[in-house]
Chains A and B, each alone.
Chain A
Amino acid sequence: MQMQTEHAHEPPRGWMRWLLTTNHKEIGSLYLLFSLAMLFVGGIMALIIRAELFQPGLQLIQPEFFNQMTTMHGLIMVFGAVMPAFVGLANWMIPLQIGAPDMALPRLNNFSFWLLPIAFGLLLSTLWMEGGGPNFGWTFYAPLSTTYAPPSTSFFILSIHIAGISSILGAINIIATIFNMRTPGMRLMDMSLFVWTWLITAFLLVAVMPVLAGVVTMMLLDINFGTSFFNAAGGGDPVLFQHLFWFFGHPEVYIMILPAFGIVSLIVPTFARKRLFGYRSMVYATASIAILSFTVWAHHMFTVGLPLAAQLFFMYMTMLIAVPTGVKVFNWIATLFRGSISFEVPMLFALAFIVQFTIGGLSGVMLAIVPADYQYHDTYFVVAHFHYVLVPGALFAIIAGVYYWLPKWTGFYPSESLGKLHFWLSVIGVNLTFFPMHFSGLAGMPRRIPDYALQFADFNMVSSLGAFIFGLSQILLLIVIYRCVKGGKPAPAKPWEGAEGLEWTVPSPAPLHTFEQPPVFDPQRDSPSRA
């Protein structure tokens, strides 16, 4: 086999080894480290924003820089932190969970990773360009992002293209791996939910990344080549931009949550010592969320002036998408019911995910109600909603996954006491930051403003406080990971008593090469869907 010959010879040493590696575990680690770095870069930007918003008035930064910070923060967290973290986990765990020796396309894998530092290096460099970096929000609505954009916008577009290519290639690799590299005997309905959710996510990526690429290309043409896709003065339509963007954007938000569902669906059964309730309905729910996610995009555009019939259609579809989402939450709780539950750090993060994600889902249902959304739209209420699903939601699931699989990666348990401290500080910080945003939003505070009226002062002060607690407590995550790589309590092959899956049949730490011979898989005994 080609893959065997490839890693038969000695790998290069030093940094060249990391530059050239085609090993799924090493590439997985690279993705995770990159994502961690971006988490801190984006986090510092968030703290700059929150510091300015600590009090009314302009204290620290000017509005134009503030706008660059909100824009960069959003772009970096979405494309640089959350998505690469999931790809990193996929690289590490999918081959281990399906009994494959590596990803299907190892060299492509290396390429898709190294595109990311290029893309984000370029994106960050725009901050130092004349006129500053992108300042039009992560949703970059035209014509603010075209006719009225800073000169650096062409570089922003290029970096989105590169990051997009990276995502598409990563997704193709994941699909090819899952379809072709499963150990003999493993059917699709025998795969772990993490593999399932990633499979569906990868299809979403392949479907919508070209749309994002298309929309930024049209921007590029409008800016540099005199076309008028989005320019009303030339007969174009700025609202078309929003339709195209959200046709990508809404599936994109599910790209950021489906793998999180997968992680939580593994951790909850492990620590409840009970099989996942409703494996099949979990798979069906994931698939229906993915399909429905293409039919709800205009819920981001309820105030642009759509005809009544369109408003009603998108309202009903958006409410409908809450149903499969609810099914997932119910299944997790049914898994807990009559289990034998222990509260190790991964479980704490997973449980917090369930609660906090549900809060975000419920505010999502409120946002779907069009007349009410007229009051919520573009306020801090929306900011609260999507941060609840993304930070105490998706990010918590990622952190839960990291704590869950660290023993497999390093051979040591992460520190339980530091991990718990990290957990509690994070929970307190994150809720202190984002819960008050529901109130400031309802009271009427618009989003994306560097200064605000006095009536919003109290809740903003609390949010800023919470943000610094949350931000600083992530230093603990760094410490935990660093110490876990260096040593600690040695972990056996299966460090968590209730865990299931092929990844726990290889030693801890997982050797560089695993499953060179396909492992034995007996659906009757090993499948999560067994009778």
Chain B
Amino acid sequence: MSEQQRGVRKTLWQLSGLLVLMVIFTIALVPLYDVFCEVTGLNGKPRRVDDAALQAALSRSQQRPLQMQFVTRVGQGLPVQFRSQQAAQRPVVGGRNQTHFTFENQSDTDLLVRTVPSISPPEASPHILKIECFCFQEMVLKAGEKKQVGLMYLVGAKLPDHVAAVTLSYTVYPVADAPAVAEEASL
């Protein structure tokens, strides 16, 4: 083998390495994006809270005029009524807050649904910590069932001062990978 061929072979190995690295990087981008979003609120997804975060957020409870607004939406073709019991509330910043939502399955079949949350402005989302939420798991709505569910959340004390109004929106969707129930729902 000539020196040139050895060189070419070495370059090939190095480039294959780079290629593999980029493939791994691409795959890793999906979870990395989630982590990045948790920290920065990039995609406006509210955070689920662990103990440390809870303690940190609770450290300093303060009185400031914050408006928390709830928006509910139903995904296309889902025969469900979904309402927030309060359109808005004034939460305690640095403390626990609670509110309720109702679901009503208007069809005569059972439905498996998932609720997708989103927060605006995105800079608020790292500071809205959910302790208890119906959006954590998928949920069965029996035919004709009317269900009340609770949300317990905490507004972190570090919420930037310029944020005076936060909107928390929920969209309820059928769970597509549960064929028996979902098929009916989307018809």
Contact = CB atoms under 8 A, between A and B. Distances in A.
Interface of A: 1-2, 104-105, 168, 172, 175-176, 179-181, 206-208, 210-211, 213-215, 218, 226, 229, 232-235, 237, 239-240, 243-244, 247, 305-310
Interface of B: 2, 4-5, 7-8, 11-12, 15, 18-19, 22-23, 25-27, 29-30, 33, 40-45, 75, 114, 116, 120-123, 171, 173-177
Contacts of B25: 210-211
Contacts of B114: 233-235
A504 to B, nearest CB: 24
Contacts of B23: 210, 213-214
A239 B118 CA distance: 13
Contact of B40 (A168, A240, A309): A309
B122 A305 contact: yes
B122 A105 contact: no
Nearest to A179: B11
B183 to A, nearest CB: 13
Contacts of B18: 206-207
A206 to B, nearest CB: 6
B2 A309 contact: no
List the 4 closest A-B pairs by CB distance, nearest first: A214-B26, A233-B173, A180-B7, A210-B22
Contact of A210 (B5, B19, B174, B175): B19
B7 A307 contact: no
Contact of A180 (B8, B26, B120): B8
Contacts of A307: 40-42, 121-123
Nearest to B114: A235
A123 B122 CA distance: 39
Contacts, number: 97
A229 B31 CA distance: 11
A283 B11 CA distance: 21
Contacts of B29: 211, 214, 243-244, 247
A232 B173 contact: yes
Contacts of B44: 305
A176 B176 contact: no
Nearest to A177: B8
A239 B43 CA distance: 8
A180 B114 CA distance: 56
Nearest to B4: A180
B12 A172 contact: yes
Contacts of B41: 307
A176 B22 contact: no
A243 B34 CA distance: 12
B43 A240 contact: yes
Contacts of B45: 237
Nearest to A100: B4
A181 B173 CA distance: 58
A293 to B, nearest CB: 15
A206 B122 contact: no
A307 B15 CA distance: 36
A144 to B, nearest CB: 15
Contacts of B43: 237, 239-240
Nearest to A215: B26
Contacts of B175: 234
A410 to B, nearest CB: 30
Contacts of A180: 4, 7-8, 11
29 contacts: A104-B8, A104-B11, A105-B12, A172-B19, A176-B15, A179-B7, A180-B4, A180-B11, A206-B18, A210-B19, A211-B22, A211-B25, A211-B26, A214-B29, A218-B30, A234-B175, A234-B177, A237-B33, A239-B43, A240-B30, A243-B29, A244-B26, A244-B29, A305-B122, A307-B42, A307-B122, A307-B123, A309-B40, A310-B42
A181 B4 contact: yes
A305 B120 contact: yes
A210 B26 contact: yes
A442 B113 CA distance: 44
Contacts of A305: 44, 120, 122
Nearest to B160: A308
A215 B30 CA distance: 10
B13 to A, nearest CB: 10
A176 B121 contact: no
A181 B6 CA distance: 11
B150 to A, nearest CB: 21
A243 B33 contact: yes
Nearest to B41: A307
A1 B44 CA distance: 60
A176 B33 contact: no
Contacts of A237: 33, 43, 45
Given A206-B18, A233-B114, A233-B116, 7 more contacts: A210-B25, A232-B116, A233-B174, A235-B114, A237-B45, A305-B44, A305-B120
A305 B116 CA distance: 17
Nearest to B173: A233
B126 to A, nearest CB: 9
A206 B123 contact: no
Contacts of B121: 307
A475 B171 CA distance: 54
Name the residue among B7, B12, B44, B45 with the largest chain A CB count within 10 angstroms: B12
Contacts of A214: 23, 26-27, 29
Contact of A306 (B5, B27, B33, B42): B42
Given A233-B174, A234-B173, A240-B33, A172 B15 contact: yes
A235 B137 CA distance: 11
Nearest to A176: B11
A235 B30 CA distance: 13
A6 to B, nearest CB: 13
A218 B2 CA distance: 43
Contact of B122 (A2, A168, A233, A306): A306
A143 B123 CA distance: 25
A226 B26 contact: no
Given A1-B2, A240-B30, A309 B8 contact: no
